[in-house]
A and B are shown apart, each in its own frame.
Chain A
Amino acid sequence: MTDETAGGQEAGADSDPRGPGSGPRSGADALIELLAGLAERTAIAGRMLPATTEPLLRSIVEATVTLFDAEAASIALHEAVEDRLVFRVAAGAAGAGAIGVSVKPGEGIAGYVFAAGEPLAIADVGADPRWGRDAAARTGYLPRSILAVPLVDDEGSIGVLEILDRRGGSFGLHDIELATVFARQATVALRAGRLEQDVAAILRSALASFTSADTPSIQETIDLAIERVSHDDGMWRLADAVARVAGGHPDPDRVELVVELLEALERHPGTRAARGRVAARIPFAREGL
């Protein structure tokens, strides 16, 4: 039994050392998977909207205020590190005070809608004295009515769209359903931006892995990764992402690793045709950092 098992592993390793079911995952497998995931996400992000989503979000809340004839509208986004919902954009004279205000997921109206994933409309908000006092203290404005809908897609909730004080009366079912359409627009825009951030996060993990002693060389990893993703031009997307991350955030600790990765990429036979194209996007790479 032991011999058979060992033989099976060897045979698997001979035929495809990185294939599924060919034995325990090695460090190389994990890195390849990471890089492949990075390349795939970057490819998706490349097909979607540019990273700058804030103007689009602002236009969404402005359109929301106009369409609903509301006093204010705002969008709060979930910041994963602090696990807080932070109001990022607002429209309407009464909305400005909300920017920068943050709440815990699951607490308050916005927190509930974010955590439950269900839209909610409240009329006569002032009837809850504690809520009213809290909100007024934080935003300088005490609304009469609130409609909150989650910014949600198949990946989960990423924030909340909140509309305050519709001038024509309280919010009804049709308002809730229409607000979800605006929320969907915001979600699509945000998700594209978040994909870019994901790329940076995955890249950081990948680069951190390269520094540990028992992982394969960068060159070896790149060789394997390119084999895995070359069918979809994914490696070029990866290279672009690396360039963007390094160019946008010249953190000395990360730049060295990024440059090392780019150099390995450029040395790879499969990437030779575009030599210089990647590094050219990072000014400090050309300066030999």
Chain B
Amino acid sequence: MSAIQPPASRVWWKEPIDRVEIIWVVVALLWCLIMFFMMPYWHIFGEQNLANEAYRTTPEAYSKKAQEVVDKYTVRTETDQKIPVVAPPAGSDVYLIARLWSWWPVLELEAGKSYRIHLMSMDWLHGFSLQPENINIEVHPGYDHVITVTPTRAGTYSIICNEYCGVNHHTMLSKLYVK
């Protein structure tokens, strides 16, 4: 009987399975388990993981914190819009605000040092896409998402929004400097 007809025998559960088919199932299962355990393995031995650190907060509370950092650590401004460039001390909390349609402020970090970067949106969902490093994180309104990053190479990076956020989504671009 073919797959479009009922099985020939009433009890098909007991029909023998070809040995090579069983081998394939076992090999595939082993591969599946390897892939599964890679994830916790990387949490223990790997260096690129999300922190699982997040807080509920309000736009006002978050902006206040962002403003404090900007007030303390701005080194210059860029572009006609006078966007502040902030150079925070290593190990400190840095707040990045995503809003329709910009990132604020611009960060200037040092290679080899770690920073606690906070990501949150003032309005809709946005996507923090750090290029060309290829770090992509979701930015929510109402949730302060914390990641501790350690830039490794000096250079100029871009922060592109890659979560569609309306008609000017493609204009949402900023920079991140690493010295």
Query: Do A and B associate with each other?
Result: no
B interface list, Cβ under 8 A from A: none
